[in-house]
Structure 1
Amino acid sequence: MNRISTLLIAVALPIAFAAPAIAQEGNTLGTVVNGNTTTTFKAADTRDIDTRKLKTWNAFAAEHPKVASELAHNPALINDDAYAKKHKQLGAFFAANPDIRQAMAANPGNYVAIPPRPGE
């Protein structure tokens, strides 16, 4: 009986640790094929993202869709002080949330990625 218990634990333990990792694989949102390159867009693993920052950014982006779209198409604008001056609301947002600006600069895809449209 002791061997059976040990065997069950030896089998169950790795499965218990592997299950969350398997479940975290994101759903495929879309795929883009360009020549020999295939890019697959998957849902983000939220364990790696500070959801408070993301929700704060999403609220701003919903109120300022033009700015959010421009940042999505050109993430380098995140660190462009002239752009932030031109868009005073963005400058004020980054001044109030410097941690979000740093997170966006480090990982722009977490905040401003544009998933492919159907058929792309």
Structure 2
Amino acid sequence: MNRISITLLAIALPAGLAAPAFAQEGRTLGTVVNGNTTIEFKAADSSDIDLQKLQTWSTFASAHPDVAHELAYKPSLINSDSYTSRKHPELGEFFSAHPDIREAMAENPGNYVAIPPRPGE
């Protein structure tokens, strides 16, 4: 996947997932049964998402698609000082300027980072 596609996904996916949830809050969107495990997918409760924080993160993510991609697959890196200060100092600077976003991302990473679909999905 090229950088432009990842950038567009980093911006559009969180916003695209949040927008329909306003109209469908609490509605079951689908169910998956795997053996004795049933997973029910419900529309997200978007009332607690700060859209300003989301926009600020989306702007950073579009400028740093590799970082956004890595955090999508391993959101625990949000709390790794070695990752944010040594490997990606620009992310460390972003989190220093926006500690509230780091805290919100650590608490609910799915509101900010999403795994992009793989080709053919």
Q: Same fold (TM over 0.5)?
A: yes
Q: 1:26 to 1:61 in 2, by over 3 A?
A: farther
Structure 2 residues not aligned, in runs of 5+: 1-21
RMSD of aligned residue pairs (Cα, Å): 3.1
In structure 2, the residue matched to 1:77 is 77
Q: What's the CA shift string for 1:9-32, capped at 9, x where partnerless? A: xxxxxxxxxxxx97424684x87x
Question: What displacement does 1:44 show?
Answer: 3.3
Given the superposition, is the C-alpha separation of residues 41 and 68 from structure 1 closer, same or farther in structure 2, using an over 3 Å criterion?
farther
User: Matches of 1:61 and 1:102 in 2, distance apart?
Assistant: 16
Show the counterpart of 1:92: 93
Deviations 1:79-106 (A, max 9, x none): 0000011211101100000000000011
Q: How does 1:1-120 map to 2 (within 5 A)?
A: 23-25=24-26, 28=29, 35-36=34-35, 37=37, 39=39, 44-85=44-85, 86-114=87-115, 116=117
**TM-score (structure 2 length as normaliser):** 0.65
Contact 1:41 1:115 (8 Å CA) reproduced: no
TM-score between the two structures when normalised by the length of structure 1: 0.65
Q: Match of 2:113, as an amino acid? A: V
Could you tell me whether the CA contact under 8 Å between 1:104 and 1:111 is conserved in 2?
yes
1:10 counterpart residue number: none
Residues paired across the two proteins, number? 98
- Are the aligned partners of 2:78 and 2:106 in contact in 1 as well (CA < 8 Å)? yes
- Supply the distance in 1 between the matched residues of 2:119 and 2:28 (Cα, whole angstroms): 15
Which SS does the other structure have where 2:112 is aligned? helix
Q: How much has 1:41 moved relative to structure 2?
A: 5.3
Is 2:75–2:109's contact at 8 Å kept on the other side of the alignment? yes
The letter of the residue matching 1:53 is: K
**For the structure 1 residues 25 and 76, does the alpha-carbon distance in structure 2 shift closer, same or farther, using more than 3 Å as the test?**
same
